[in-house]
Structure 1
Amino acid sequence: MLEEKMDQVEEERPAPLGIKLGSTRTIVAESQEEGVKTHDTLTCLATYEDVLTGDQRIIYGEEAAYEYPDEVQFMLRTGLPEDETQAEATAMFFDSVVKATNTPSDSVVVYAIPAINNERGLSNLAEVLEESGVGEHLIRSYPESLCGSVPVFGDELDAIGRIFIAINFGSTNLGACVYRRGEQLSRFATGAIAGNEVDRWIANYVEEETQGRVNIDQTTAREYKEQHGDFNNFEPFTDIIQQPGGGTHEYTIERSVMDALDRYVDDAIDEIANTFLPQLANDYMKVYKHTLQEPIVLTGGMACIPGLVETFEERLSKELEHDIVVKAPDDPVTAAARGAHRIAERFVEEGRY
């Protein structure tokens, strides 16, 4: 009888969810029998008219980007919905994701959100999340880099009890801060060094490398970065474009992708070593000394580039003339959502909802 009551209580618990509404990708992490499952999609949508009914229909994610490349809307390119129009589009997108993934409303939800000083954007995002229909029992938000750091330090939320530096290599900005038992100290962010900027640099470098014969858009540049970027073992690759007057042109890329990625790492090190760390030392000298003895956690989608973490560690150590240890989560793309899910699990386990 007691076991039956305990099973009943267990069944009545809300579902823990971890969600990251990212500028490029949106991830939903949920519990299943085999473990944590993640749903991953591009953060974009397009609308079209149903030829039978005349109604407006919504298509999102990879399908929207592939089928409507000229009309697709990436509503969170800056990381947050900046105005009412973007907020409405974000709400439509997220509602579509929730329905498609059968995300339960009877849930405790932790969102991984950008650490950006943008009150209006954060307010718009908060409104979208609160009206989404999920998280009936509890909704909490934590910085993306903190959530992304959780898998690095283990399943028991050790990251919440530590003092460490987290650097987020995201699509829209380079961000850094110190976490002291979950509290953010000495935050830093710049949009001049970002994954989206790397895409623009690659497009420019491709034009230069091909002496102006090839012009690619930033979507293609991003695909080059994700498919071919590799600090360990980059290999030149060929591609083919359709010529305006007819026919095709085959070209080989030998430098453009890695030139852009090298520039990204060097610029990031310059900002971290010469702006963020001096700021941290000035504000919290003891914390600064402590964190340099601890692993620095690298989060964000750019950390997926093979060899980037090791290259950053080597070059930052050289710049500081001090041996630095840099770690990144397995699968950085989903890490923030998985970390948020673990925090949501803790709320459910402790009945704090």
Structure 2
Amino acid sequence: MFEESTSASEKRRGVGDDPTPVGLKFGSVRTVVARPEDDAVQTTVALTCSATYQDPLTGKRRAVYGERAANEYPDRAQFMLQSELAEDNERATVTRSFLETFAQTNDIPPNSAVVYAIPSFDDRRTTLDAIIEESISGRLLDGYSTAMCESIPVFGSDLDAFDRIFTTIKMGSTNLEACVYRRGEQLAPFSTGSVRGCEVDRWIINNVEEGTQGRVHIDRTTAREYKEGRTNCDDIQPLFDDTTGSGAAQKSTVERSVTDAIDRYVKEAVDEIANEFLPRLVSRSIKIYKRVLVEPIVLTGDMAVVPGLREAFEDRLSSELQRNIVVTTPAEPITAAARGAQRIAGRLLETGAY
């Protein structure tokens, strides 16, 4: 039901006297859990989506989740966190069911200390907190901002991020966020819903339809896979009417559709950072502004996995600010937040802070 992306073995750590430190990222696109296994940290990844269908024998509505939902029902797979939970009780119910199934499927020990990554500046936080607490009840729980959790693996193998001053830009599916972290303290937090990673999927779909004069339609799952470089553009060629042009021209249409959509996103993101976030930071402290711009900016979020996006953002922001800006990303953007949260959980257990 769920895809396990990293697993050294089938063996799972059982329930013991000492709580197991667990990190959880409940994200708009993916949900990830990180936990210790065989003296290492292993991660499990699932798409945060569901789809329902009617059982032909019983007539009852049934649900499938994760990769199975996206692959078997691409036309109606629902990514639950890409709209406001508070405005939709049915969506909140589906979200709760998804997380309960994820926790059961992946055997999160009842005797565990779970740190979960939460949106940094999002009004869904209260709703998400409640859903997480209900879905994985009986475990010790604490939440830290997603951007901080994702940044922890960037700065070594410990929790050095809490001793540094740096800027994060979180390119999420539903929001663009930016913040300076000063030894864990948030300075000049900025968030906007006008630049959304999930919109890139829609732009790709529209670009492909326009480029093929309406002969080809791709679903959102396929668009996301193109965006993230997980599906080669060659794979779509059989869908094209070959009488309209050569295979090379067809491949070029798809590639251009993806590139144009990502370029548009980068341009809009840089405009928001350069013209909204950074002026806000200047008004807060010109000294902090000058300091953080000579340090690498940590780029996180769902869009951080897009090939070439970091370089494109770095180049455009450097040009906009007329200075050399260095942008970095976690080595494993998809699992970074859960890994960072798991380290926090381990430290909280060590120090007795729970």
* TM superposition score normalised by structure 1: 0.86
* Matched-pair identity in %: 53
Tell whether the 8 Å contact from 1:296 to 1:327 is kept in structure 2 after alignment: yes
Q: Please say if residues 215 and 240 of structure 2, whose CA atoms lie closer than 8 Å, have aligned partners that are also in contact.
A: no
Q: For residue 168 of structure 1, what is the aligned residue in structure 2?
A: 170
Give the Cα separation in 2 of the matches to 1:114 and 1:313: 24
Query: What are the ranges of 5 or more consecutive residues in structure 1 without an aligned counterpart?
Result: 1-9, 244-248
Q: What corresponds to 1:42 in structure 2?
A: 47
Change (3 A) 1:228 1:83: closer
Tell whether the 8 Å contact from 2:29 to 2:302 is kept in structure 1 after alignment: no
Query: Are 1:329 and 2:334 an aligned pair?
Result: no
Q: Secondary structure at the match of 2:79?
A: coil
Aligned to 1:277: 278
CA distance in 2, matches of 1:185, 1:270: 20
The equivalent residue for 2:11 is none
Tell me whether 1:240 sits opposite 2:233 in the alignment.
Answer: no
Q: 1:156 is matched with which residue: 134, 155, 158?
A: 158
Indicate if the aligned counterparts of 2:227 and 2:258 stay in contact, CA closer than 8 A.
Answer: yes
- For residue 227 of structure 1, what is the amino acid of its counterpart? G
Alpha-carbon distance in 2 for matches of 1:72, 1:268? 27
Counterparts in 2 of 1:269 and 1:135: CA distance versus 1, 3 Å: farther
Counterpart residue type for residue 181 of structure 1:
R
Q: Does 1:76 align with 2:87?
A: no
Matched-pair contact (CA < 8 Å) for 1:81–1:125: no
- Whether contact under 8 Å (1:110, 1:340) holds in the other structure is yes
The structure-2 alpha-carbon separation of the partners of 1:205 and 1:54, relative to structure 1 and needing over 3 Å to count, comes to closer
**Structure 1 residues 70 and 255 mapped into 2: Cα distance closer, same or farther (>3 Å)?**
closer
Quick one: distance in 1 between partners of 2:318 and 2:234? 29
CA contact (8 A) 2:23 2:33 kept: yes
Aligned length: 332
Structure 1 residues 104-143: aligned runs within 5 Å: 104-118=109-123, 121-134=124-137, 136=139, 138-143=140-145
Q: Contact 1:84/1:124 (CA < 8 Å) preserved in 2?
A: no
The secondary structure found in structure 2 opposite 1:172 is coil
Distance 1:314 1:147 in 2: 26
Identify the residue that residue 287 of structure 1 maps to in structure 2: 288
Which of 169, 189, 192 aligns to 2:191? It is 189
What is the distance in 2 between the residues matched to 1:62 and 1:277? 38
- Confirm or deny that 1:19 pairs with 2:24: yes
Residue of structure 1 equivalent to 2:5: none
Unaligned 5+ residue runs, structure 2? Answer: 1-14
RMSD: 2.5
Q: Give deviations 1:30-60, integer Å, cap 9, x for gaps.
A: 1111411111011112344555666654321
Does the aligned pair in 2 maintain the 1:299–1:328 contact within 8 Å?
yes
